[in-house]
Amino acid sequence: MRYALASGQRVEAYAGGRGICRRCNGEVIAKCGTHRVSHWAHRGIRDCDSWAEKETDWHRAWKNNFPAECQEFIQHDEKSGERHIADVRFPHGLVIEFQHSHLKPLERAARERFYGNMVWVVDGTRLQRDYPRFYRRKDDLRRGYFLLTFPDECFPAMWLDSSVPVIFDFRGVDEGQPPDEFRDTLWCLLPGRVEGSAVVVGMSREQFVKVAPSRPQLLPVQEILTFFRELRAADEREARQFAGMPGGRGPRRRYARF
């Protein structure tokens, strides 16, 4: 974890530091080596939050885009008593979870139920095969909102059934790579389908970092899905209306703006 309580203050890890975990009130000690980012670790146990993962430079770089007071927010379910540490939570309630390591489907679903209003940001550089698979579909990709016919050919299977938006970051923290339109864009896979097709949103990092803290819901998912369903139904009606006519009009390509 990045923050602990020391002398009653919420502080980052420092050499030789000792503190108190803000979630369980257990003792934590500062780890400030050269192989991992500086962090607080529990004394004698791995971590008090079963959903915690080892924080990487990628995690820390993403968190640094947002105010410190929004990072590592302890969310408490009063009915169940369950408590977990969200990577980022804004005052209006939107949670962002940054995921680098593999995640079991049951845990992914449990975290989505617990946080409710959330989005995932997934490290698309962890597995070497993920970006080449994604790039093979480059002719179907564009900035803005669009339908993707075969999302399973583009995105990792473990994220296809997510109930919340999943944003894939294929750039990571390697700033030495040359500019690449597809790597530099964040690709958001929305939950739900339009007759089997997925809705995907291509956005810049700057857009995401600016918009996420400013609104309770990152994207109006149901509104977007409804738009595309109505659009597809209208295209099908037009196709039937002009079928068999010389120069018959086919479906029109239109894209939403939200």
Measured CA distances, 168 to 20, 68, 126, 134 (Å): 34, 23, 11, 10
Please compute, for residue 179, the number of CA atoms within 13 A of its CA located in the half-sphere on the CB side: 1
Residue 258 has pLDDT above 50, yes or no: no
- Domain that includes residue 15, residue range: 1-48
Q: How high is the mean pLDDT of the chain?
A: 87
16 with 29, same domain: the answer is: yes
Q: Which residue type is seen at 37?
A: V
The reply to whether 35 falls in a domain is yes
pTM as predicted: 0.85
- Two tokens, residue 33: 């080596």
79 with 17, same domain: the answer is: no
Residue 47 has pLDDT above 50, yes or no: yes
Most confident of 105-109, 144-148, 250-254: 105-109
The reply to whether 132 falls in a domain is yes
Question: What is the pairing mode between strands 39-42 and 27-31?
Answer: antiparallel
15 with 141, same domain: the answer is: no
Spatial strand order in the sheet of 3-6: 9-12, 3-6, 18-20, 27-31, 39-42
Cα–Cα distance measured from residue 183 to residue 247, given in angstroms and rounded to the nearest whole number: 40
Q: Looking at 152-166, 192-206, 218-232, 243-257, which range is the least confident one? A: 243-257
Q: Looking at 2-6, 25-29, 42-46, 52-56, which range is the least confident one? A: 42-46
43 with 99, same domain: the answer is: no
- Two tokens, residue 237: 């009606």
Cα distance between the two ends of the chain? 36
64 with 170, same domain: the answer is: yes
Q: How many domains does the chain have?
A: 2
Residue 85 has pLDDT above 60, yes or no: yes
Q: Residues 178, 182, 183, CA angle at the centre, nearest 5°?
A: 55
